[in-house]
């Protein structure tokens, strides 16, 4: 936790300032500020953007505070790793190998932190912890109940993370909406926390929906009133209400929400619909949200959005425009590729180029005429045989027509298969995932994976370093001798076929230190033909786009 000083002059009584603002004329002895907590809940309907709201608030407070996010999800899965993307959207992978909710992508991109799997608390994890405590005899023979035993485990976990990370400010986002049976125990734990940490050290933010019905042209507060009433029934009284709306909230609607929901009118904030999520911190600052939090939590961490606003302006006013084909099998749910979309937004912010994504479903691909009107092709990650032959066809056309290509995880494996079939003349080359009886298994499962039957958390997961080949395009893009990216896969380029691939012109531009695992490939002589076994989109940031994406977009522009 940070060292703070208390101000003693009359104008600043009760406010705290960090030590780098030290002024001996007005300050006394330093003290250690207790960890502050911001609890974010949502109501009315799912998908309003609690994660983005929490991340945006954190961005505004991160200048002088160490901020740690925790996400509480009500599902009974231990993590989202085994969920179909249509069920849950993208699975976000952390450096430590944790498979977590996609909101952690927003936290990392906005907070500037590297998250840990322990910060994602699912009800599946909670019940597992309770069961283990009961088996050890921790409850001394008592009947184990939801309250206090389950709620105590939730709070103990949160406080443990706070201590381990020495957090100045800890965000807790409660997944789902108020009224969902899945999150009741999390909400009860959050209610209890105000007594555990002190009311002056905790703040509740509630995100709701303010619709404007068609033909009425009037902002309606009733959904917000009902949602807040549900929250109050659970003993939580929000300090700040963020109303998601297609327009800025009027003074009248803010006053009405203030009167009915018992919050100050200034604490009713517009959560405006925007084309780009990176505008949200700017809007929250305009609405005066940082000052409200400073006063309520007795902290001081002023935002500096000058550089951020420049990048947002580049996104809003691009000077160029390209079209990129996203060739996958989860294209009906764009959240399946959320981090890829954000990586392109980061490139737009620095290159001033609007990137139109053309979604191509590859399952039953017959018509490839779309390739006549695009500037580049991305083949993202995925699992299973469905859609793979369509992707291989697209990769071949990209190589033969010299269209910039970026392959991610499965995209690298399919690029190797295509090259093996059509350049190395290995007829029937394939991955043993797609065809266990292929005569040329150029992609094969790791030996240590072959005896594993469980699906969850058993892949090569998390951050791995690769040695980059001197003189390669990939090394020039990273500007370093080694690169660390996050992985999520079981299959690898088969070492038995390394030599035939390289002899025919494929460059292994990045490998594990022992050379056994191929992490990056490229084909020299083409505008841009690069693929990686990793997921570089997971570490892309607004301030620093992922190098492979930046190089790809630059090639598309040329």
Active site residues: 409, 535, 537
DSSP result, 342-359? HHHHHHHHHH-EEEEEEE
Cα 347 to the chain's mean position, in Å?
17
What angle is formed at CA 530 by the lines to CA 525 and CA 535, rounded to 5 degrees?
170
CB-CB contact of 507 with 383 (8 Å): no
- Give me the phi and psi of 530, to 5 degrees please: -135, 140
What is the SS3 assignment for 267? helix
Pick from 160, 77, 154, 110: which is nearest to 456 by CA?
A: 77
Q: Quote the CA–CA distance of 304 and 292 in Å, as a whole number.
A: 17
Number of Cβ within a 10 Å radius of residue 86: 11
Q: Quote the CA–CA distance of 340 and 408 in Å, as a whole number.
A: 10
Pick from 197, 206, 245: which is nearest to 226 by CA?
A: 206
CB-CB contact of 270 with 283 (8 Å): yes
What is the SS3 assignment for 26? coil
CB-CB contact of 486 with 470 (8 Å): no
**Exposure string (b/e) for 306-345, b if CB count within 10 Å is 16 or more?**
eebeebbebbeeeeeebebbbbbbbbeeeebbbbbbbbbb
What is the SS3 assignment for 299? coil
CA distances (Å), origin 229, targets 121, 206, 234:
26, 11, 9
CB-CB contact of 122 with 78 (8 Å): yes
Q: Which two tokens stand for residue 435?
A: 């065809």
* Residue 404 DSSP one-character state: -
DSSP result, 174-220? EPS-TT-GGGHHHHHHHHHHHHHH-GGGEEEEEEEE----TTT----
């Amino acid at each position: 936790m940070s060292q703070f000083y208390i101000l003693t002059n009359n104008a600043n009584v009760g406010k705290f300032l960090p030590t780098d603002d030290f002024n001996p004329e007005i300050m006394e002895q330093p003290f250690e500020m207790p960890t502050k907590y911001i609890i974010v809940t949502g109501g009315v309907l799912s998908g309003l953007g609690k994660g983005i709201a929490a991340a945006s608030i954190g961005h505004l407070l991160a200048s002088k505070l160490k901020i740690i996010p925790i996400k509480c999800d009500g599902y009974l899965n231990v993590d989202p790793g085994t969920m179909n993307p249509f069920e849950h959207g993208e699975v976000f992978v952390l450096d430590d190998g944790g498979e977590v909710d996609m909101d952690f992508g927003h936290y990392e991109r906005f907070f500037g932190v590297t998250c840990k799997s322990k910060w994602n608390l699912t009800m599946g994890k909670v019940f597992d912890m309770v069961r283990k405590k009961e088996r050890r005899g921790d409850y001394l023979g008592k009947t184990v109940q939801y309250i206090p035993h389950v709620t105590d485990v939730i709070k103990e976990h949160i406080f443990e993370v706070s201590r381990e990370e020495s957090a100045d400010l800890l965000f807790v986002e409660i997944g789902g909406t108020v009224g969902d049976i899945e999150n009741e125990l999390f909400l009860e734990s959050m209610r209890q926390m105000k007594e555990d940490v002190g009311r002056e050290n905790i703040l509740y933010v509630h995100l709701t929906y303010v619709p404007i019905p068609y033909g009425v042209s009037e902002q309606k507060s009733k959904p917000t009133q009902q949602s807040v009433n549900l929250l109050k029934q659970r003993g939580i009284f929000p300090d700040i209400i963020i109303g998601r709306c297609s327009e800025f909230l009027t003074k009248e609607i803010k006053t009405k929400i203030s009167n009915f929901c018992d919050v100050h009118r200034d604490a009713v904030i517009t959560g405006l619909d925007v084309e780009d999520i990176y505008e949200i911190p700017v809007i929250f600052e305009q609405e005066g949200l940082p000052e409200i939090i400073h006063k309520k939590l007795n902290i001081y961490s002023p935002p500096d959005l000058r550089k951020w606003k420049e990048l947002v302006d580049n996104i809003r006013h691009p000077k160029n425009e390209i079209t990129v084909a996203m060739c996958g099998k989860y294209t009906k749910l764009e959240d399946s590729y959320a981090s890829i979309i954000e990586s392109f937004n980061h490139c737009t912010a620095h290159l001033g180029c609007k990137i139109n994504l053309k979604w191509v479903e590859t399952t039953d691909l017959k018509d490839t005429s779309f390739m006549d009107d695009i500037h580049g092709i991305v083949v993202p990650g995925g699992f299973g045989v469905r859609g793979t032959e369509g992707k291989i066809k697209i990769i071949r056309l990209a190589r033969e027509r010299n269209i910039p290509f970026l392959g991610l995880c499965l995209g690298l494996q399919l690029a190797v298969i295509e090259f093996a079939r059509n350049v190395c003349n290995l007829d029937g080359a394939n991955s043993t995932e797609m065809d266990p009886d292929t005569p040329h298994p150029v992609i094969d499962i790791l030996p240590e994976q072959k005896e594993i039957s469980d699906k969850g958390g058993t892949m090569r997961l998390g951050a791995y370093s690769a040695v980059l080949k001197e003189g390669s395009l990939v090394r020039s893009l990273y500007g370093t001798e080694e690169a660390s990216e996050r992985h999520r896969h079981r299959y690898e380029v088969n070492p038995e076929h390394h030599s035939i691939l390289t002899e025919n012109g494929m460059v292994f531009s990045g490998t594990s230190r022992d050379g056994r695992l191929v992490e990056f490939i490229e084909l020299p002589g083409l505008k841009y033909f690069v693929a990686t076994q990793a997921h570089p989109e997971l570490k892309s940031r607004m301030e620093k786009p992922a190098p492979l994406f930046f190089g790809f977009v630059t090639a598309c522009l040329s």
